[in-house]
């Protein structure tokens, strides 16, 4: 009698698909997340011909996450007040 078995590769792929599906469901529910506004899906966002460092810089600029705007967080100081506001 021949035993039926599932190859480990198939089991791993199924587990990975379930985990990624759950991750996508959670991500899609987080619409108030600032990053979600710029990157609503989990598929990799590959900007034409840019390396990872340049992609990160562009993403941070689009979201407004720069050293100038967040320096107070790193130095444990209160948020600055705009002098013109």
Residue 78: give the domain boundaries: 50-84
Interatomic CA distance for residues 57 and 13, integer angstroms: 33
Q: Could you tell me which residues come within 8 angstroms of residue 76 by beta carbon, excluding any fewer than 6 positions away?
A: none
How many domains does the chain fold into?
2
Phi–psi pair at 25, nearest 5 degrees: -60, -45
pLDDT tens per residue across span 25-56? 998 888 888 778 777 887 777 777 888 888 88
pLDDT over 90 at 13, yes or no: yes
40: left (phi over 0), alpha (psi -120 to 50) or beta: alpha
In a domain, 2, yes or no: no
pLDDT over 80 at 14, yes or no: yes
The Cα diameter of the chain in Å comes to 83
Claim to verify: residue 55 and residue 79 sit in the same structural domain: yes
pTM (global) more than 0.75 = no
């Amino acid at each position: 009698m021949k035993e039926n078995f599932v190859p480990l590769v198939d089991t791993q792929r199924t587990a990975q698909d379930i985990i990624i599906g759950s991750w996508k469901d959670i991500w899609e529910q987080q619409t108030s997340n600032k990053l979600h506004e710029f990157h609503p899906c989990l598929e990799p966002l590959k900007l034409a011909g840019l390396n990872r460092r340049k992609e990160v810089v562009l993403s941070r600029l689009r979201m407004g996450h720069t050293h100038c705007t967040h320096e107070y967080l790193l130095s444990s100081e209160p948020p600055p007040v705009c002098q013109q506001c």
